[in-house]
Amino acid sequence: MEEEYAGVPAPAPDLSALLIGLLKGVLYRESDERSWGALLNLQSRVRDYVAVLNLELVLDEAEGYAFLKSRPEPPDDDPAPRLPRLIARRPLSFPVSLLLALLRKKLAEFDAGGGDTRLVLSRDEIVELVRVFLPEGPNEARLIDQIETVVNKTVELGFLHRLKPAGGAAAGPASFEVRRILKAFVDAQWLADFDARLAAYRSALSGAGSGKEARDA
């Protein structure tokens, strides 16, 4: 007889492996077709189990990814007790937020053009996307290092995937695939809010530049 907890039967081995994998991170169809097929068959049971943990399943069959996220918090006037978050929020620095917004816009432009479904950018292309928004400095190498730190953080977060050099070469120009899961995290409202912040940031940079010119004159 299956053991039950909170009215939910104990998971079968395949379901257990699937749940553990989702708790560890994003599941991509292209990376694990077996688990992806299992998820499509068992998604209703997955939703039941993760609901006990105050989580919900985000599944995009068209884009081929799935992940778990915390359920929205109840309004302040809701008397229900607030449950602790299993998946912690991670505040992002401005440069990382900037890169995510720029990559999301690039992905929207790419999709509008049709054609390939994979957006691949070179290291230099990503550097050029970001550098125009960062304050200019006398040390070009240091600026590039700062941008590469942001790129590495974005790879760590799972929104960029570092590709192996073509032809199996030991070294070569770095290139990155923009993960389509970015669309689930950066929606139109987020972009609109960020555009307002970016406009203010540009204005501040412009003011700082004008002040520098005045001092240099």
Segment 49-90, tens digit of pLDDT? 999 888 999 999 988 999 998 887 666 665 666 555 555 566
The amino acid that residue 214 corresponds to is A
Q: Is the pLDDT of residue 116 over 60?
A: yes
Domain range holding 26? 9-70
User: Is residue 184 within 8 Å of residue 60, measured between CB atoms?
Assistant: yes
Domain presence at residue 88: no
Q: Does one domain contain both 203 and 148? A: yes
Domain boundary among 54, 70, 86: 70
d(CA 140, CA 123): 15
**pLDDT tens sequence across 164-181:** 876 655 566 789 999 989
* Domain membership flag for residue 80: no
Instruction: Say yes or no: 59 and 122 in one domain.
Output: no
Give domain status of residue 188, yes or no. yes
Q: Please check whether residues 127 and 204 belong to one and the same domain.
A: yes
Domain count, the chain: 2
pLDDT digits (tens, 9 = 90+) for 88-112: 566 778 888 889 888 988 888 888 8
82 within a domain of the structure (yes/no): no
Which of 186, 173, 158, 167 shows the shortest CA–CA distance to 127? 173
Are residues 202 and 158 located together in one domain of the fold? Answer: yes
Map residue 164 onto helix, strand or coil.
coil
CATH number at residue 196: 1.10.10
d(CA 67, CA 45): 15
Pick from 22, 54, 70: which residue ends a domain?
70
